[in-house]
Structure 1
Amino acid sequence: MQDGDKKFLRWLVGIAVGLLVLSCGAVVFSTTTNLQGPPSAFPCKEGMSRGGAVSTTNKHATKIGREILQAGGNVADAAIAVQLALGVAQPQSTGLGGGCFVLLFNASTGETNVIDGREEAPALFHPKIFCAEPECFNRNNVSQAQEECLCETTLPYKYAHRGGLSVGVPGVPAAMGELQAFAALPLSDLAAPAIHLADEGFPFYQHMHDKIVAHLDSLNISDASAEIYLNEARTGPKFEVGETFTNPHLADTMRELAGKGWQWYYSHLADEIIDAANSAVEPHTGRHGLLQKSDFEHYKAVRRNAVRKQLRNDLEYVGMSFPSSGGTSLAMMLKMWNVFPSSADDLGSVLEGSNDKNWTFEEARRMVDVQNTVWADRQKYMGDADFVDVPEGLLDDEYIAERRKEWVACLDAEGCSPSPTRGSEIPVPFGTPPGVEVSTTFVDRGSDRMSTTHFSIADREGNFLSMTTTIEENFGTGVTVPGRGFLLNNELTDFSFRPYPSGTGPAHAYPNAPSGERKRRRTAVGEDANTIGGKRPMSSMSPSLIFSNNEPIAAFGSPGGTRIIGSVFNALVQYLSRGASLFQAVERERMVAKNDVVYYETSYDPDYILELSALGFETSRLPAARPMPYVEAVIRKGSCYGGVADSSRFEMAEAALVE
């Protein structure tokens, strides 16, 4: 038995967990409290504890995160252990070959630390890399003779994401290295539970089975992937549901990583990653990866400032900055919603709220208008702010108020007249924020894919962490690094597939156009602002914190591609504005709009949908088998913590309390 495995088994001794399973599907773990010092004057409410809380999309990761906190670790320790565990138990969503965004509130300093672990484009990438003509793949054809690559059509997504072409330099290991600076426990201790899980295995579950079936073409590109996930004929999953899934190659990689440190990934393991990506040829296009060792040498997880927006009185939203569009979009949406309680004391606990009623039609309509209005600006202006000038005026209070007045339906509580019919005016036009000249109407429509994972953690010291982590598509590129057990991301398909609109030129380039340039990381903070790096594709990942009087009271986030922003917005409005308990905020039906179709869940009031359709909105019901993204959240009320995981939408999600 490895030393790390022995430590892991020691942690299991003496840990008692009481499980409270809520009938609607979301779960929390109820534990007793055993703190040193004087007892609190008031006990914690049901579903809450004084030791902290963990909420993730996978019960194995949640269990490990809880045990790390029980063993004396803090949120950074738990996050590293959870990330490694998710790479084992949910490899279709995240792993060592992916990227992430992290928000960490350090209670000892009062600072919110923002870590950008987004994947980065290699130097050989270029604006026309996703154009379909064969000559567009060669950068020399594009840079030396633009007419040789006309870009009349772009690659279908299914061909662009498979194989090595769309692999960006992974950021998860570098981000975990940054988190290690906040950790209390050594990496060997933090990796031990995930190593044990990979060696001993876990019951193969239905969701993982179904995703393998849906992505056979991708996984068949890689012999290393087929070895882990596919049967001998390579026609289906290697395991039946309930059988034990193991990944010994990944266990060995994590052992080596734990002994040599995170930087070893970029200095030595990089060669194996480059070989895997560059030799993975997509059979229909002949395209492959473009990674070089210098791309790994230039990579770093970047420290950035958080997006901050005062909502009302003592409530403040804190989110991720660019290249994530989530923080700015959610700040705009919440400010545009503009209905919040007078005090954070009025917010609900895990199981208790002040409003058991569901959405009114007015509220549902307002949800659609707010999302459409902000999405118009997102698609027009947002991207990697180290490469493009994203208008700071997007967060200007007066600008947001103007956009709300023009495009957002009123609520009776505001004492104003309802806005006129809007459905016939979709898409909503983008605005002109302060500092921006009136522009053309070229807008990148973007894409809609579902993947990724998220977790939220709080510890007894008041530290909070919200982290969204991904390899983009389910199973990423389908390419596993031989002998290493982890998949490579296809994050570069998050760039726009066209560099600029048809019939125009580089002067009209989309903010999120691909690029192989390297520039100074001008929006980073500290020493990172003087480093040089490649462009990072815009993301919808939205790790979020809510503050009251300069202290965090909640962490929210979700997987789910471009529906992440709308799903987190729905849950935040339920909790912050409508008086819902945390459980209700996570569980209640959602409606997501991205300035085109309005997506809603099967449980939504059908009369509301008919009314929206009558107003001219195009609506689409999501099947129960493919619901909205699942939100993971933790909260603090006084000195008590609670968490909820969205297991009604994803059966493996689970939240746990800490003693």
Structure 2
Amino acid sequence: MKSMKKRLFFASVIATLALSLTACSTVQANKVSNGVSASQQIEDWKPYDEKGEMIRGDRGGIGKVGVVSTGKFEASKIGREILRKGGNAIDAAVASGFALSVCEPNSSGLGGGGFMMIRIAKTGETIFIDFRERAPKNATPEMWKTDKDGKVIGNKKVEGGKAAGIPGEVAGLLYALEKYGTMSREEVMRPAVNLAKNGFIVTPTLSTDMKNQFDMMEKYPETGKVFLTEDGFPYEVGDKFVNEDMAKTLEIIIEKGRDGFYKGEVAEAIVNSLNKYDGLFTLEDLANYQPIIRKPVSGTYRGYEIILSPSPSSGGAIVIEILNILENFNVGELDVNSPEYLHLFSEAYKLAYADRAKYMGDSDYIPVPMKGFTSKAYAKEIAKYIDMNKAKPSIAHDPWQYESEDTTHYSIADSEGNMVAITKTVNGLFGNSVVADGYGFVLNNEMDDFVTGAGHPNSVAPGKTPLSSMSPTIVLKDGKPFMVLGSPGATKIISTVSQVISRVIDHNMGMQEAIDAPRLYDNTSDTINVETRVSDETVKKLQEMGHKVNVTSDWDRGMGSVQGVMYKEDGTLEGGADPRRDGKALGF
């Protein structure tokens, strides 16, 4: 019986993959599906057409009062409705965050964590909230058994109890609401409860992710009970997905606040479910969790102020390092995605990613050269290493001399100048594959972001935050709001965010245009990755310059999923959402 079930499942996967490939080859950027324009923003909008193929246009949204851009239409709609009811951008962000926990469980959720950047219009203050997952008190560098090659035995760094860090999402969202919001938990969370109870339509992205994790869902029955159909199969595109257990959990949080998650029945379910699969959690780990308020890292790029995430994210400092390197070249004179343009970005990425790999970790535990990373003098010095005619290997330099995965992102901005950027995650697809039994949410596998063994800046320690690349970003022009953006994509977040910022500033692109443009990625592997919309002639020229080139796909989901909002000169807000996944921006 199980063998037949597997055969039927793999037949379904092949059909879905064929459908996806067809979509990639037939649907072009900025093309409106079925004659529906972005301005109409119909209430039953979907990121795919009647054939189940992903559409690549109709993702943006324009507003005079506010714009909400998230990775899911349902969450954007809920956030927009909060703004319509008089809530501020923080209220809308919290409402959208809990909604994403329901409708994007493959990428984020109550069992995960993240970073939040907030700008308060009245004061001009920028606040960074670190609600990232942290290592439990019993965690040590020796917690995973390794083989002779140093590889963790039994995949326990990725799945099961020892893969999970203490989740911070509930604490972070509720802290923001209580400190900076204007509405009650009931008002901002009720829409997410209704979404879980009434269900939402499964997209090609979610269906594919469920199929990719089918084996894990069968291996961990608590997870299969939530994310597989009654017949034991992954959901198909167009199916309705209902999560009554998640609705129950959200109701408890509405009633009891953070104690409803970090203490009592939900906390007990988290500990019991993780420790059933070799976990190390205690109730004390959960009860003691607190978000951390940190000072953002900031820099400038051609006169624009760039405000990003500090350590333990590597994203902020390394994005600034990349932009500082690029500032030594006249990027605006290069055609976007020309061989020279791609070569320059590739070389800048290799330099910055080499520094990241050598020096980055949680600055609460080890020294990190943040001033060096963000120093323009340092960037000017290492930019001399770049030869505009040929590729060079990635080499880490010495920023100390200048010292004096899968995820979601969403951005919200309003006409008063309030901005919120949130990147949150459960790390891998469906996290560590373990659901808190009876409560409908999967736990993260964020412990995989630590290195294995002791002695590294990113080694495990009790309470330590693993290194991240998440980069929720705010950009100001002459001290006034200009842009808010971010992306999922593990280490590719850094390259993706820096590209979008440069394309807006150096090439005067609009928000959606900058998001849609073909992307590249390079790091210490010295292989430049480009989407197939980059021409064959360009790829050939890069190879002649000495680059190893890997051509990926038309719309490479792995290169991030940017959601952003830009303040235009005429006073309108332009929201952009990434067609590489399910994103949709809505404004009013």
1:264 alignment partner, one of 260, 263, 269: 260
3-state secondary structure, aligned to 1:48: strand
- Matched residue type, 1:301: P
1:399 alignment partner, one of 378, 389, 403: 378
Displacement of 1:563? 1.1
Query: What TM-score does the superposition give when structure 1 sets the normalisation length?
Result: 0.77
In structure 2, relative to structure 1, the CA distance for the partners of 1:337 and 1:511 (3 Å cut) is same
In the alignment, what sits opposite 1:487? Answer: 442
Query: What TM-score does the superposition give when structure 2 sets the normalisation length?
Result: 0.86
The structure number with the bigger radius of gyration is: 1
Displacement of 1:183? 0.8
Displacement of 1:92? 0.6
Unmatched 5+ stretches in structure 2: 1-28, 42-59
2:492 pairs with 1:546: no
Matches within 5 A, 1:90-489: 90-132=104-146, 152-155=149-152, 158-180=155-177, 181-231=179-229, 234=232, 236-237=233-234, 239-268=235-264, 269-280=266-277, 288-313=278-303, 315-338=304-327, 358-391=336-369, 392-406=371-385, 408-409=386-387, 418=388, 421-423=390-392, 426-434=393-401, 450-489=405-444
- Matched residue type, 1:119: E
* Paired residues of 2:95 and 2:188 also in contact (CA < 8 A): yes
Partner Cα separation in structure 1 for residue 167 and residue 65 of structure 2: 33
* Paired residues of 1:161 and 1:490 also in contact (CA < 8 A): yes
Displacement of 1:605? 2.1
Displacement of 1:207? 1.5
**1:100-149 Cα shifts (integer Å, max 9, x gaps):** 1000000112100100011000111111333415xxxxxxxxxxxxxxxx
Partner Cα separation in structure 2 for residue 453 and residue 232 of structure 1: 28
Partner Cα separation in structure 1 for residue 335 and residue 402 of structure 2: 42
In the alignment, what sits opposite 1:23? Answer: 31
Displacement of 1:323? 0.7
Partner Cα separation in structure 1 for residue 128 and residue 117 of structure 2: 5
In structure 2, relative to structure 1, the CA distance for the partners of 1:585 and 1:262 (3 Å cut) is same
3-state secondary structure, aligned to 1:633: strand
- Matched residue type, 1:64: I
* Paired residues of 1:29 and 1:655 also in contact (CA < 8 A): no
Partner Cα separation in structure 2 for residue 421 and residue 262 of structure 1: 55
2:552 pairs with 1:606: no
In structure 2, relative to structure 1, the CA distance for the partners of 1:535 and 1:294 (3 Å cut) is same
Partner Cα separation in structure 2 for residue 332 and residue 119 of structure 1: 26
In structure 2, relative to structure 1, the CA distance for the partners of 1:310 and 1:432 (3 Å cut) is closer
- Matched residue type, 2:391: R
- Matched residue type, 1:630: S
In structure 2, relative to structure 1, the CA distance for the partners of 1:28 and 1:99 (3 Å cut) is farther
In structure 2, relative to structure 1, the CA distance for the partners of 1:107 and 1:372 (3 Å cut) is same
2:67 pairs with 1:67: no
Displacement of 1:431? 3.0
- Matched residue type, 1:393: G
Partner Cα separation in structure 1 for residue 555 and residue 499 of structure 2: 20
**1:251-308 Cα shifts (integer Å, max 9, x gaps):** 111111111112332122322211111112xxxxxxx211112222332110000011
Displacement of 1:389? 0.2
Displacement of 1:240? 2.8
3-state secondary structure, aligned to 1:577: helix
- Matched residue type, 2:408: T
* Paired residues of 2:62 and 2:586 also in contact (CA < 8 A): no
Partner Cα separation in structure 1 for residue 162 and residue 426 of structure 2: 14
- Matched residue type, 2:373: L
Displacement of 1:494? 0.5
Partner Cα separation in structure 2 for residue 547 and residue 193 of structure 1: 32
2:69 pairs with 1:55: yes
2:493 pairs with 1:514: no
Partner Cα separation in structure 2 for residue 278 and residue 544 of structure 1: 36
Q: Relative to structure 2, which stretch is displaced further, 69-78 or 208-217?
A: 208-217
Displacement of 1:156? 6.2
3-state secondary structure, aligned to 2:68: strand
In structure 2, relative to structure 1, the CA distance for the partners of 1:299 and 1:27 (3 Å cut) is farther
Partner Cα separation in structure 1 for residue 81 and residue 339 of structure 2: 44
3-state secondary structure, aligned to 1:252: helix
Partner Cα separation in structure 1 for residue 470 and residue 333 of structure 2: 29
Displacement of 1:472? 0.3
- Matched residue type, 1:253: T
* Paired residues of 2:335 and 2:341 also in contact (CA < 8 A): no
**1:213-261 Cα shifts (integer Å, max 9, x gaps):** 1112322232221111124564x31x33212110011011111111111
Partner Cα separation in structure 2 for residue 176 and residue 599 of structure 1: 35
- Matched length: 534
* Paired residues of 1:602 and 1:621 also in contact (CA < 8 A): yes
Partner Cα separation in structure 1 for residue 106 and residue 316 of structure 2: 25
In the alignment, what sits opposite 1:631? Answer: 562
**1:174-199 Cα shifts (integer Å, max 9, x gaps):** 11122112111101011111111111
In the alignment, what sits opposite 1:12? Answer: none
Partner Cα separation in structure 2 for residue 160 and residue 303 of structure 1: 28
Partner Cα separation in structure 2 for residue 27 and residue 290 of structure 1: 51
In the alignment, what sits opposite 1:641? Answer: 573
Displacement of 1:579? 1.8
Partner Cα separation in structure 2 for residue 421 and residue 131 of structure 1: 43
In structure 2, relative to structure 1, the CA distance for the partners of 1:241 and 1:48 (3 Å cut) is closer
Displacement of 1:621? 1.5
* Paired residues of 1:330 and 1:569 also in contact (CA < 8 A): yes
Structure with more of its chain in helix, by fraction: 2
- Matched residue type, 1:241: V
* Paired residues of 2:320 and 2:373 also in contact (CA < 8 A): no
3-state secondary structure, aligned to 2:163: coil
In the alignment, what sits opposite 2:506? Answer: 577
Partner Cα separation in structure 2 for residue 435 and residue 356 of structure 1: 30
* Aligned residues: CA RMSD: 2.5
Partner Cα separation in structure 1 for residue 296 and residue 184 of structure 2: 28
Partner Cα separation in structure 1 for residue 485 and residue 120 of structure 2: 17
Partner Cα separation in structure 1 for residue 564 and residue 398 of structure 2: 32
Matches within 5 A, 1:66-85: 66-85=80-99
In structure 2, relative to structure 1, the CA distance for the partners of 1:97 and 1:434 (3 Å cut) is same
Identity %: 30
In structure 2, relative to structure 1, the CA distance for the partners of 1:310 and 1:436 (3 Å cut) is closer
In structure 2, relative to structure 1, the CA distance for the partners of 1:318 and 1:163 (3 Å cut) is same
3-state secondary structure, aligned to 1:434: helix
Q: Relative to structure 2, which stretch is displaced further, 463-472 or 48-57?
A: 48-57
